[in-house]
């Protein structure tokens, strides 16, 4: 009901009938109730009076103590003995409600709580049933650990104007909170609570906010993902069951926290993922969409093709926030497939978690890595020969069968990806290991220059190398180095990719190799002997030289890449500010930063400046013969590179420029359609260059490019 009221009020505000307060109205924040204030409390040794949460309740006989009230973890101002529950009350004065825009209630607790402001519920945690209030002698379904004592942040429960204005009052107000322990034998009990106000003028009537405080938000220009873990902590393994809601009202629309879900509202199984990133405050997550029975549920999220395995990547050491998104967009333009991505903002258990990138997990699927499905009973003939997805990565000797070591120095570790090692039959594991051994023997032999193409899809290899060299990623050819083996009837070759994990690319590292825009990363960093041997073949170098020249005309044109960066940054917009309010790391070294900018703009400018220098260096130093006849080389090798049409800038204001596929741009037709499918713009003979779409209204359009042999389309967003 609150959502419908707010929408109606927003409608009225459009016509000047009503002015809604917002975050932009807030001058500063102050805290009116703190955990270490003097609280009244009652231990749960018997049932409390039924009206204990009401403002006029007589609590004069209750105990007094500095909060929090509890025991264990050294986060208690007042220590009490083992108890199943405790209830707390705090009266506080509001001098003037007219200069308060909104409020936020913060809760750090062990193991559950429910809070009331002037008798109205304002927050609850780890109770499960939204209609349940635990009795004084009842325990929550699972335990919940407090986090402030360990440097974490408490859960945030924003009170927005429409709701807040109806319950706050000038003069005395009352917070009443019940905390329930996970059984009388639990080793700890915590109850640290805070109540803060968003003040619209410069007055100073209350206390400063805690050091960890950051402003709550109630709306975003990005899609919003909300995850409720039902009181559980997300861990590395195993996955826990949680609820996820996605709110995406469309391009140009605002997404409010209390909007109804648009894309998803259901069960997921989620875990922390990553290696070195697990040490960061901002975690990465992998999750699976499930039905109510815990089975895989293939769904489309944020317009990406339906599947059930997804990743939430949280850029942290990458303070530009866009290194992965930028590179995956390049990958989708240049190669057959790279993970699709969508920026979003994430909240977990009512706690703002920052800007994230929703990504497709690498797996076999017709809309992801489109190779033959390998079932566990495909153990002979052509069925046995593909498709396998695996990667060169860190070894894991503690898990039997997770992968295998190469027989050739420096002994890279091949890890099964999809199917995973526990899904493969033994004969399938032996087949792919033997096949890779044969491939390595062929490359190690003296006649490898005449045999490598029997095993390797050279086009994918060249594209994979060029993208990793462009980014000069410190982990290139060493970690997260993905490849897949086709079924023999589909060609039977080893195909490089998909590309993966570029948060340390573009000189975002300070160890091992030269981080300048000069030099080849494959000469410094590879764990795989066959990468450098193949790159030493003269014909491969010439083909790579020609491919680079081809890409530099379109997909890797300097202006196009810079516009692409600007488009990503503009799309993130004010969410970047919120992210760095949540994670105060600008101007601070985060492993393994080479450059440390004082502002977000400096981080983005460094990325752009480094990329321009890298492009120019690769132009001047590209392997191969600069005088080679590229049209003949690409034709003779039957190169079928996947080139996509791209538009920049996108979103645009009036002028848009297309990046067209192919070495030579032939004359084609451009058609632009609006959201209703009506053609609103047309060019009969388009040979490249900018297109003036000034007369179109702001909105979403589909641009289609048609020539004699291709039809390509791209979505346009006019601001």
Q: What percent of the chain lies above the pLDDT cut of 70?
A: 92
Q: CA-CA distances (angstroms) from residue 596 to 14, 273, 588, 718? A: 43, 26, 6, 34
CA–CA separation, 551 vs 72, rounded Å?
A: 61
Q: Quick check: 387 pLDDT over 60?
A: yes
What confidence score (pLDDT) does residue 87 get? 97
Strands (E) located in 314-412: 341-348, 351-360, 388-392, 403-405
Q: Quick check: 558 pLDDT over 70?
A: yes
The pLDDT mean for the chain works out to 89
User: Which of 52-66, 136-150, 194-208 has the least mean pLDDT?
Assistant: 136-150
What confidence score (pLDDT) does residue 398 get? 65
Q: Quick check: 233 pLDDT over 60?
A: yes
What confidence score (pLDDT) does residue 132 get? 86
The DSSP symbol for 521 reads H
- Most confident listed range (274-283, 618-627, 636-645): 618-627
What confidence score (pLDDT) does residue 18 get? 33
Q: Quick check: 328 pLDDT over 60?
A: yes
Q: What angle do CA 474, 476, 482 make, to 5 degrees?
A: 145
Retrieve residue 462's tokens: 């060249």
What confidence score (pLDDT) does residue 546 get? 94
pLDDT in tens, 585-616: 999 999 999 999 999 999 999 999 999 999 99
CA–CA separation, 562 vs 546, rounded Å?
A: 23
Q: What angle do CA 88, 93, 104 make, to 5 degrees?
A: 65
Burial of 645 from C-beta contacts in 10 A (0-12 / 13-18 / 19+): buried
pLDDT in tens, 420-446: 999 999 999 999 999 999 999 999 999
Q: Quick check: 535 pLDDT over 90?
A: yes
Q: Which are the contacts of 267, defined by CB distance < 8 A and separation ≥ 6?
A: 241, 242, 243, 244, 289, 290, 291, 292, 294, 297
pLDDT in tens, 130-168: 778 999 999 998 888 898 998 888 888 888 787 888 899
Please give the residue that has the higher pLDDT: either 395 or 569.
569
Q: How confident is the model at residue 703 (pLDDT cuts 50, 70, 90)?
A: confident
Q: Quick check: 17 pLDDT over 60?
A: no
Region 627-652: what's the mean pLDDT?
Answer: 67
Q: Quick check: 464 pLDDT over 70?
A: yes
What confidence score (pLDDT) does residue 638 get? 37
What confidence score (pLDDT) does residue 719 get? 85
Tell me which residue of 349, 103, 319, 130 sits closest to 225, measured CA to CA: 349
Region 104-114: what's the mean pLDDT?
Answer: 94
Q: What percent of the chain lies above the pLDDT cut of 90?
A: 67
Region 403-414: what's the mean pLDDT?
Answer: 90
Q: How confident is the model at residue 622 (pLDDT cuts 50, 70, 90)?
A: very high
Q: How confident is the model at residue 711 (pLDDT cuts 50, 70, 90)?
A: low
CA–CA separation, 111 vs 122, rounded Å?
A: 18
CB 532 within 8 A of CB 526: yes
Region 192-206: what's the mean pLDDT?
Answer: 96
Q: What angle do CA 416, 420, 425 make, to 5 degrees?
A: 100
Retrieve residue 76's tokens: 């208690």
Q: How confident is the model at residue 560 (pLDDT cuts 50, 70, 90)?
A: confident
Q: CA-CA distances (angstroms) from residue 276 to 150, 271, 312, 355? A: 20, 15, 16, 19
Tell me which residue of 92, 85, 96 sits closest to 137, measured CA to CA: 85
CA–CA separation, 285 vs 234, rounded Å?
A: 9
Q: Quick check: 409 pLDDT over 80?
A: yes
Tell me which residue of 198, 207, 205 sits closest to 158, measured CA to CA: 198
pLDDT in tens, 285-296: 999 999 999 999
The DSSP symbol for 267 reads E
Tell me which residue of 112, 61, 60 sits closest to 86, measured CA to CA: 112
Backbone angles phi, psi at 230, to 5 degrees: 55, 40
pLDDT in tens, 121-140: 999 888 867 778 999 999 99
Q: Quick check: 474 pLDDT over 80?
A: yes
């Amino acid at each position: 009901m609150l959502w419908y009221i707010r929408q109606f009020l927003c409608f009225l505000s459009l016509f000047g009938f009503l002015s809604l307060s917002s975050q932009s109205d807030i001058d500063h924040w102050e805290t009116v109730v703190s955990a270490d204030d003097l609280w009244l409390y009652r231990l749960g040794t018997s049932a409390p009076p039924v009206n204990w949460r009401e403002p006029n309740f007589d609590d004069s006989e209750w105990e007094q103590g500095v909060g929090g009230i509890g025991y264990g973890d050294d986060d208690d101002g007042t220590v009490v003995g083992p108890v199943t529950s405790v209830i707390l009350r705090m009266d506080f004065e509001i001098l003037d409600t007219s200069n308060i825009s909104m409020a936020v209630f913060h809760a750090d607790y062990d193991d559950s709580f429910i809070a009331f402001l002037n008798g109205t519920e304002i927050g609850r945690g780890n109770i499960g049933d939204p209609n349940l209030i635990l009795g004084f002698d009842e325990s929550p379904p699972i335990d919940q650990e407090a986090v402030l004592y360990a440097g974490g942040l408490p859960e945030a429960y924003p009170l927005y104007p429409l709701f807040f204005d109806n319950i706050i009052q000038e003069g005395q107000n009352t917070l009443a909170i019940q905390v329930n322990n996970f059984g009388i034998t639990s080793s700890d009990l915590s109850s640290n609570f805070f109540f803060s106000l968003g003040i619209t003028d410069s007055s100073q009537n209350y206390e400063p906010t805690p050091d960890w405080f950051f402003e709550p938000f109630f709306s975003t220009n990005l899609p919003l993902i909300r995850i409720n873990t039902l009181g559980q902590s997300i861990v590395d393994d195993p996955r826990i069951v949680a609820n996820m809601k996605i709110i995406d009202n469309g391009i140009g629309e605002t997404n409010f926290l209390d909007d109804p879900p648009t894309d998803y509202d259901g069960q997921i199984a989620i875990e922390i993922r990553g290696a070195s990133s697990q040490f960061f405050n901002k975690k990465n997550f992998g999750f699976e969409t499930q039905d109510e029975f815990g089975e895989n549920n293939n769904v489309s999220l944020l317009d990406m093709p339906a599947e059930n395995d997804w990743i939430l990547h949280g850029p942290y050491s990458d303070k530009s926030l866009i290194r992965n998104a930028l590179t995956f967009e390049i990958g989708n333009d240049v190669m057959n497939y790279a993970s699709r991505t969508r920026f979003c903002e994430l909240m977990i258990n009512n706690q703002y978690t920052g800007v994230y990138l929703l990504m497709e997990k690498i797996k076999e699927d017709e809309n992801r890595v489109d190779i033959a499905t390998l079932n566990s009973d495909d153990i002979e003939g052509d069925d046995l020969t593909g498709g396998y997805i695996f990667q060169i990565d860190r070894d894991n000797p503690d898990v039997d069968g997770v992968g295998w070591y190469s027989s050739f120095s420096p002994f890279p570790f091949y890890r099964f990806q999809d199917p995973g090692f526990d899904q493969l039959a033994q004969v399938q594991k032996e087949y792919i290991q033997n096949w890779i051994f044969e491939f390595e023997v062929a490359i190690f032999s003296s006649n490898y220059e005449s045999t490598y193409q029997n095993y390797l899809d050279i086009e994918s290899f060249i594209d994979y190398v060029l993208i990793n060299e462009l980014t000069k990623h410190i982990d290139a050819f060493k970690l997260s180095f993905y490849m897949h083996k086709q079924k023999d009837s589909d060609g039977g070759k080893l195909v490089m990719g998909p590309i993966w994990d570029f948060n340390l690319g573009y000189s975002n590292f300070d160890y091992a190799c030269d981080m300048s825009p000069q030099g080849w990363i494959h000469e410094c960093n590879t764990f795989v002997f066959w990468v450098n041997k193949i790159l030493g073949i003269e014909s491969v170098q010439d083909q790579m030289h020609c491919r680079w020249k081809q890409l530099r005309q379109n997909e890797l044109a300097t202006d196009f890449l810079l516009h692409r960066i600007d488009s990503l940054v503009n799309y993130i917009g004010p969410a970047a500010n919120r992210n760095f309010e949540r994670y105060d790391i600008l101007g601070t070294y985060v492993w393994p930063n080479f450059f440390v900018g004082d502002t977000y703009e400096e981080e983005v400018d460094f990325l752009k400046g480094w990329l321009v220098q890298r492009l120019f260096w690769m132009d001047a130093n590209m392997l191969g013969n600069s005088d080679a006849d590229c049209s003949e080389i690409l034709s003779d090798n039957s190169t079928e590179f996947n080139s996509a049409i791209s538009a920049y800038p996108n979103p645009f204001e009036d002028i848009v420029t297309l990046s067209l596929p192919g070495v030579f741009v032939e004359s084609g037709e451009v058609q632009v359609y609006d959201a209703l499918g009506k053609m609103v713009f047309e060019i009969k003979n388009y040979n490249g260059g900018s297109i003036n779409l000034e007369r179109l209204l702001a909105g979403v359009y589909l641009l289609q490019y048609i020539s004699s042999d291709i039809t390509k389309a791209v979505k346009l967003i006019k601001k």
